[in-house]
Every structure is written in C-alpha cells, then in structure tokens.
Structure 1
Amino acid sequence: YCCWGSERNLLTLKHKKSDLHNETKRKYMTRDQPSLMVQLNDQLQRNQIERRKMLVIQLSSVHFLLRQGMAIRGHDELQGNLQQLLLLRAEDNPGISNRNYLSHDIVNKMISLMGNALLRSKLHQIQQCRWYATTADEATDLSKQKQMAICIRWVDKFFKIHEDCIGLLQLDATDSQYLTTVVKDILVCCMLPLSACQGQAYDGTGNMAGKLHGLAARTRKIEPAALTFEQFQKQFASEEVSIKPLCPTRWTVRTGAIMPFLNYRALVECCQEINLSRNDEYGRIAGGVLAQLEQFKVYFGLRLAHLIFSATEQTSRVLQRKDCSFQEDSGTDAHQFETPEAFFRQQYFEAFDITAGKLKWCFEQSMLAAPRAIENLLISYANEEGNQLQDSENLIPQVIQVNYAKDLDLSHLQNQLRTLPDLIRAANKNVPTLNITKVTKLSTLIDVFNAVPFSDVLFSEVHSLLCLFLTLPVSTAIAERSFSALRRLKTFLRSTMTQERLNNSMLLYVHKSSTDELNMTEIAQEF
C-alpha cells in the first residue's frame, strides 16, 4: 500500500473540521487575551473617546456659527447651517454622521454653556478693577419686545479702557423705578457693588436721564459718586434742524455720504435715464428720487448739511471711540416768510445756532466739574506749577475731596503729587524716546506710568486718580452698537428665539476675541 500521504491529508481535513479541534484552537488563540469584561470596558472607553471627539467637533461648529452671527437652523431642519456644516466636516470625520446631540434642547444647552463661560470671563476681568461705570440704551427688536443693552466701562492697570456689553434684558415696563430695580439686580448678579460705580451714561429719555426721577437720578440717590453724564453724541444729531437725516440709526453723520449728491447734474440725469428706460420697481424708485431732487429745498439742505457736518464730523468720530475720555471730548408756531430768501436764510442761521448751542451745552455740564478738576490738578503738578501753592489745604480741589474721599487717601495723594515731576524725569531716563518736557494731556502721564516699573505702587493714589478719570463714560456708543448686533441676530426669520438664547448669541457675536479664546474641551467636559 503506497497512498499514505493522501490518507494523512484526509485525516488532517477531518480533524480540522472536528469540534474538538476548533475548541482547542479557540482556547489556544485566546490564552493571552484579556477577559471578556476587560474587552468590553476597553471598547466602551474607545467609544467614549470617539464620541467626546465628535462632541467637541459639534461644539466647535456651533461656536463658529455663533461667532459669525449666523443662524443655526433654517426653514428646513436638514437645510440649516449647523446640519450642512456638520455634513461638510463629516467628510474628514465620518463619526459626525451619527448626528448625536443635535436636538433643540441640547443645542440651546451648548449655546448657554459657551455664553456663560464668556460672561464669567468678562466679569472676572471687571471685578479685578476697583471702579466701573455703567452705560445703557433701549431699543425695540423685530418681535416688538423692549430690550435694554447694559455695558460696563472699566480701566485695567495699564490704563487701557474697556467697554463690554454684558447682555440684553427684555423689559416688562419702562418706568424709571422698574429700570432702577433691573439695573441693581443685574449688578448684584454680576457681583459688582454699586459703591464702586463711578459714572453713568444713558440715552436722553426722561425715564433714564430725568434729573429728578430718572434712572440716573435714582441711582445717584443710592450712590452719590455715580456721576451722570449726558451723552455727547446725541447733541450732534439734533432732530430740530429741518434737514433730511442721512442715517437715523447712526449718530456719526459722515460727509462722505453727502459728497456724491453734490454732483447734482449727473445724479439728475442718471435718475431720468433709469426712470425712462425701466418699467420695473427700480424705475419707479428713480422717478421718486428725481421728484425730490428737483426741489430746491433738497439741494439747499444737502449743501447746508455738508457745510455743518464737515466741521463737526471729526468731533463725532472722536466721541464714538470707546477709549475716549473727558479731556478729548471736553418749539414755536409756524412763521410765515415773505420771500423764499428769508425762509432759507432762517434755516441757514438756525442750523448754525442750534449746533453752537448744543456744543456749548454739552461741554458745560455741571457733572464735568470733577473730571475737569482731576485734569487740571494732574497737569499742573506734572509741570511743577502746583508746587507753588503754600497752603496744603488747597492742594486738592474741593470737588475731588467731596466725590472721591472714600476712594482716595488725600494726604498720600498730596505727597505723591509733589513728587510727580520726579516720576516724569525717571520715565525720560528709562525711555529716552519719550523726551517729555511739558505735560499737556493726561495720555502723556499714562505713558509715564507705563514706562516706569512699579510706578503704580509708588504713586498708587495718582494711579487711582487717573483710573477714576478714565472710568467716567463719555457716550453710549457701545450700547448702541449692540443693537446693530441685535438687528443682525434677531431678524424677521429668527424672531422666535428665547431671550436666553438671544442673549448668549449676542455676547458670543459681539465679543469675538473672547469667543475665540473659549476652550471647547472645557465646554465639552462641563456639558
């Protein structure tokens, strides 16, 4: 018999198919593997790591949309910005296609966590400074809800001025007593003591800026140091002048918007051509504009507006800066006119009279006595002019003693003021490029403090006096700009979002640099 090889192969095949062989093989292969429980735990951990990674990706997608002020959802759930962005990112991360954590409640939770994290970061910075000022303004959103934007103005130790919007509040009433209660509650929730409030700036309505029972007056009764300043910018956009407003939503009237209209002949010819050649909506609009341009009062108003606002525009530009300080910004019956010349002459001179009167009024407010005294005191001693006074009781003006007695050590302030010129000489030595020979504005003193190490400790009271000066608000421009963000976020198509979501969305959109600093991993852990 010579077929032993084939028989051996048959035996081998039969043995491999036997249950005994398969069982032995399984035991041999699993002898070095961990137990089933350990394998299940490892798989669970891998799944958790993968889902955590996908959660961070979803958070970062929501973070991107909020930073850019874009809508999360669309008309169709699958056509929303978030869904489409996740589909795009799923090309690189297939695990996102599972679409977990995308319910409305969970997305709102994500937005809330990011908004609260940003607000806590801002409030922590504000709480590090000794003083702050409040600014607020009211507006009505597209869902006909009254909204009040509240902003905090504060100064860091390097004299950098910050104005941060801390949120919108939906108002159930608009009387001054209710507004006062609301502002006090917000400051308490933000852990900002009212005793540290050194200034207020509101819009010109009676319920907010009323001298007897307005929000500002009620706040001053509680904290007299909270000086109230009428916002300067409104004086340059007075509605008493009968000139067509160029942009009612902005108080900086830009002459650049008027310049194209002064090329009157070309503009009229263009409108005539569009009106004759088009039969659609644009042709009708051009016809309406042409009818206005053919009136002399329109041409006269444009010329007069260009003449006046070209002189006041630079002042308005300075006032709308958030780092602006007080040193920088320092009805009758209708009359019948006999001739058109008399009518337009009256408009011409009335416009200049109103502008001059508003300028004079806004720079002669009684509340400006304190910042003016601080400015004169620091500049005089920086130039060694104050040291000529012999009576030590007259070193500090009375208005500063009354308003800031609890915030400053007046005796130490007097001593530090006398040695202020030495600090300037030290700054010139440390930074030769300064070359300060005479101080004419407080920004020079700020450069001196930043040039000399530990000057904020050695001249602590002068440093505090400078911070108090810079804390005083000049305008409500930041609060008004927040309404521009409100109009972008709460549109006709997005007018049903809750107040909490609107507030968080606005904070993340307004504070873009702080939004970029949010740590998505920490947000995911909190989630």
Structure 2
Amino acid sequence: MSSTICNELIELMTEKVLNDIIAAVKTTKYFAISVDSTPDISHTDQLTFIVRFVDSSGKPVERFIKFIPFSGHDGETMMNVVLDTLLEHDLFIMDCRGQSYDNASNMSGKYNGLQAHIKQIPPLAEYVPCSAHSLNLVVSCAAECCVAAVSFFLLLQALFNFFSASTHRWSILKSTIHGDVIKSLLTTRWSAQHDATHALKDSFAEIRSALIQIAEDEDQTATTRSEAASLASKLEDFELTLLCVLWDCILEQLNAMNKTLQKTEIEMATYVNLYAGLVEFVISLCNDEAFEMFEEKAKLLVKDYSYRADHQRSRKRKRNFEEPDNEIVLLPRQKCKTATYFVILDSLITELVKRKKIYQNPNDKFGFLFKITTMPDAELREAALKLQQYLSADVQDTFVEEIVNFSGYMNQIKAPPEKCASSAALKPLRNAGISETFPNVDIVYHLYLTLPATNCEGERSFSVLKRVKDQLRSTMSQEKLCNQALLTIESDLTRNIDFQSIIDDFANMKSIKKFI
C-alpha cells in the first residue's frame, strides 16, 4: 500500500473518530475545556486542546481534539486560538461551563490570563487550576524553604550524576545495593523525587559503601576519588539522614495523592477532602514526638548520631559594652528542629491550605448535593436557591422544589449518603429513566461533573506527541501529526470504528465509475 493511500485511509478514520467526539459533545450540550502547550522536536509550540463532558450514562469523559501550532503566549492570543478551534468544530462557547489549566500567569492570571478572557464571554465558565500541578508547586515551595532542604535535593542529584557518569561506577553501585538504584530528579514530576528519596533511604548504607569503595580505589582518578569521598562524608551527616527519612515519609503520601488527582472521574469534593486530609497529616507531624520518631528511624541508617554543629566551635558575636549578654544559643538538635524540621512542615501546611481554598470555592456551590438526605428542609432550600440563582441561565426556578422532592426519593429508596454524590446519583437517575421527573436536578449534577480539576489529559497527550513526532519524523506535516495523535490517544474509539464503512467510503472516493 502506498503512503498516499495510507494517509487517505488515516484521514477517513480520523474524521470518523473526531465526528463521534463532536457529536457526543453536542448531545450532552455542556462541556469544559483544558489546554496546555509544549515545544515539539522541531521547536514548534504545540497547544493541546481537550474537551470534558458527561456522556449519556452520567460518566465524565475527556477527549483530545487536536494539536494547534501557535507562537503567542499571552492570554488574549490563546483565547483567540481557543475560540477559533471551537468555531471550527461547530461548538458553542456559551455552552462552556468549566476550564482548567496549569498555574502559569498567562493561563491563570486574574486579569489578563486565558481563564479571565474566556470567563468574560460565558461567565459560568468556572476556572479550576490543575490540582496535580498545584500539588507539585506545594512540594516545590517546601523543598526551597530552607538551606538544608535545598542541600538535600542537590545531594540526591549529585549522587545520580556521579554514578551515572561512568559505567564502571554504575556497575559497582548495582553490585553493592539490593534494592532500587538511585534515580534522577525531575522538576516537572515530584513522583520522581519520591522514587529518588525512597531509593536512597532503602539503600543508604550500601550507597555509602559503594562511594567508600570508589574513594579507596587507587585505579580511579584523583578527581573521582575526591568526589566519592566528599559524597560519602555527606551521607554520614545525621541531619541529612534525618531529612532523608522525613522527605521519604512526606513524598510517599504526596505521590499517592498525586496519582489519585490525575484520574478523570475524580470529583471536586474528593479533591478538597484529599487536600484537607493531607493538611491534617502534616499537622500531626508538628510535635516533638514525631520529630523523635524520625530521629529513631534516622539512627538506623548511620553510626554517628550527633548533629553537624556538635563538632563545630560556636562563634561568638562581638558586642558593645552597653549591650546586654542575653543571646539565646540553641543546641544543635533544637536548631535542626526549629530551623529545618518545623520550617519544612510550616511551608507545606501554608501552601496546602492556600491551594485548598482555590478548590473550596466552586465546591461550596455544589457541596450540599452530597448531604441532601441529611439536611433539614430549610437549609436544603436555602442552599438550592443560592445555586439556582448562580445557574439561572441553565436551571429553572423549580429546582428548589425538585431537589426537595429528589431528597425524599433518595430517602424512600434508602440510599446511603455516599449515593447522593454527583456521579453516584446521576447514573441511577438516568439508568432508572427518571431524569424527566427531575430535569433540573439532572442538569445540576451534570454541570458539577463537567467541572474539570486537572489537565493531566493534556500532559498525557504530550507523551504521544513525543512518540509520533520524533527525531526521525521531525518534518511531518501538522495535519498528519494531528491525525496520528488523535487515533493513538483515542484508541478506544479507534477500535470501535466501523471499518467496513471506511472501506466503502474510500472505494467510492476512488471509484472512476459515474452513477447517474
């Protein structure tokens, strides 16, 4: 089969998949958008365009539309690109009810960001920053809050750089340790930081032993032996060992939460509860008992339990004869606790609370839906009235009475409180065929599920971009890139294509016979 015929078949398949996506969006009416950009192998900025909607069964779905080459990065330029893309696919911007981007200023800016420009057109296009990206920023701020934290992560990367720079050193490391080898750090994915920290903690003694072996090897160069000895001495620092244990505990919880935040079907209330639970977890570490627990774990990794300052002479500051000598001198252990341990935890708590408030605002509008069976009628009516006034363009005045009626229905079928959650209530509502009885309730649950809280689907599309347009195919056309990316990303729709109709369309397109 020639490349021309192959490309024409791919175009027909792409058109079919894209038409199915657009038809599904139009059927559900309301949708949300998510965009992000990255440079490809040919140094062209590619803007990925994702739409989120709720399918007929009540399940939130996110679909890739296309990659868009663009050069401007300001909010107004990106708004024009978004509007042109929606117009190209016959989607009405006034039906947009949500938008989610990363925390870059050109995206999330309050006045000139993309979200601000979009919200001027449909005011109900609620903006929710990507929760996974926000969590990365939380950890990034905590990792830069003090010198000790910065030094720890610099040491992690220095260890990887040292061993990976030579195959001989890497073989020594692999023959010494029994668990995972040390990993490199990535600024875009804090799961990589967890992997690196966990690998160091699990093989702490073995890594130090490998460094000592290299430092004592006379066949190595003087530079290599000096660097190995320097890294080995740093691994004997009790304060650094304590940080290794602390960060392993914190990053383990953050990594588990980060994986959950990347799921498409997770709802807004779950995001808020996860952030609140993480705040409580970090607060539980802010006491002397937790600090002593980490100290005991660190003592299992090193032989010398003394802090670095115990071996250093304390410096005395010169004072004037009139200045009173009442300076408080902290012991090394107390200084580590107050200047490092509590500073890291305070930074985590501050950032988590700040990020949680961002998701609390949209969640408060719909939060009562999760407890309609337990709320008094007066409170339920008041909350429903506020939401109806906010969604007056989509929800009728009868919503207040409908939600009270729906609450009675849920109590009648003895539904547990968790069944009143949006997805758990919308699916039975539609499966039971009673959406016509509660049309406004159906719309409210629908709108809540349409709200995105992550743009991870866009990040996943970048992985496909790097595989499709690699170094050997750097000159491929934009149309071919979009076609192949769409068929790959939406592989579940590609597999369900009626290939017989594709073959018939292709045959009719190539047929030389003319039927009258």
Give the TM-score taking structure 2 as reference length.
0.70
CA contact (8 A) 2:40 2:465 kept: yes
1:322 and 1:524 map into 2 onto residues whose CA distance is: 34
Distance 1:272 1:523, change over 3 A: farther
Match of 2:377 among 356, 381, 387: 387
Correspondence 1:125-524 to 2 at 5 A: 125-238=24-137, 239-240=140-141, 241-242=143-144, 243=150, 244=153, 246-252=185-191, 255=194, 258-262=197-201, 263-270=203-210, 292=231, 294-295=233-234, 296=237, 299=241, 301-330=243-272, 342=335, 346-365=339-358, 368-376=360-368, 378-383=369-374, 385-388=375-378, 394=382, 396-398=384-386, 400-411=387-398, 413-425=399-411, 427-428=413-414, 436=416, 441-446=421-426, 448-449=428-429, 453-524=432-503
1:107 and 1:509 map into 2 onto residues whose CA distance is: 16
CA contact (8 A) 1:373 1:397 kept: no
Summarize deviations over 1:444-480 as a string: whole Å, max 9, x none.
43464256x2221211111110111111111111111
Q: Which runs of 5+ in 2 are unaligned?
A: 145-149, 154-183, 273-313, 316-330, 507-516
| Corresponding residue pairs, total | 403
CA contact (8 A) 2:57 2:430 kept: yes
Q: Which region of structure 1 is more displaced relative to structure 2, 217-226 or 265-274?
A: 265-274
Name the larger-Rg structure.
Answer: 1
CA contact (8 A) 2:372 2:407 kept: yes
Q: CA deviation at 1:275?
A: 8.8
Q: CA deviation at 1:248?
A: 3.2
Q: Which region of structure 1 is more displaced relative to structure 2, 477-486 or 348-357?
A: 348-357
Q: CA deviation at 1:498?
A: 1.2
AA in 1 matched with 2:384: I
Summarize deviations over 1:300-345 as a string: whole Å, max 9, x none.
5533321222233333222111111111001xxxxxx989874785
Q: CA deviation at 1:157?
A: 3.2
1:122 and 1:149 map into 2 onto residues whose CA distance is: 16
Distance 1:292 1:170, change over 3 A: farther
2:208 and 2:378 map into 1 onto residues whose CA distance is: 67
Q: CA deviation at 1:346?
A: 3.1
Q: CA deviation at 1:407?
A: 0.5
Q: CA deviation at 1:204?
A: 1.4
Distance 1:222 1:440, change over 3 A: closer
2:370 and 2:448 map into 1 onto residues whose CA distance is: 13
CA contact (8 A) 1:208 1:216 kept: yes
Distance 1:230 1:289, change over 3 A: farther
Q: CA deviation at 1:387?
A: 1.5
Distance 1:291 1:325, change over 3 A: farther
CA contact (8 A) 2:418 2:424 kept: no
AA in 2 matched with 1:221: Q
Distance 1:153 1:298, change over 3 A: farther
Q: CA deviation at 1:149?
A: 1.0
AA in 2 matched with 1:225: L
AA in 2 matched with 1:359: L
Q: Which region of structure 1 is more displaced relative to structure 2, 269-278 or 502-511?
A: 269-278
Distance 1:469 1:482, change over 3 A: same
Give SS of 1:225's match. coil
2:453 and 2:362 map into 1 onto residues whose CA distance is: 14
AA in 1 matched with 2:480: R
CA contact (8 A) 1:423 1:448 kept: no
1:372 and 1:466 map into 2 onto residues whose CA distance is: 14
Give SS of 2:483's match. helix
Summarize deviations over 1:387-414 as a string: whole Å, max 9, x none.
2459x6x35343x234310111122x11
1:457 and 1:290 map into 2 onto residues whose CA distance is: 75
Give SS of 1:147's match. strand
Summarize deviations over 1:120-155 as a string: whole Å, max 9, x none.
111111211021111111111122111111111111
Give SS of 2:436's match. helix
Give SS of 2:86's match. helix
Summarize deviations over 1:497-519 as a string: whole Å, max 9, x none.
11111111111111111111123
Distance 1:348 1:438, change over 3 A: closer
CA contact (8 A) 2:34 2:100 kept: yes
CA contact (8 A) 1:382 1:439 kept: no
1:364 and 1:174 map into 2 onto residues whose CA distance is: 27
Equivalent residue, structure 2, for 1:68? none
Give the TM-score taking structure 1 as reference length.
0.68
CA contact (8 A) 1:427 1:448 kept: no
Give SS of 1:169's match. strand
Give SS of 1:162's match. strand
Identity %: 22
Summarize deviations over 1:362-389 as a string: whole Å, max 9, x none.
2212x7434322221x244333x24245
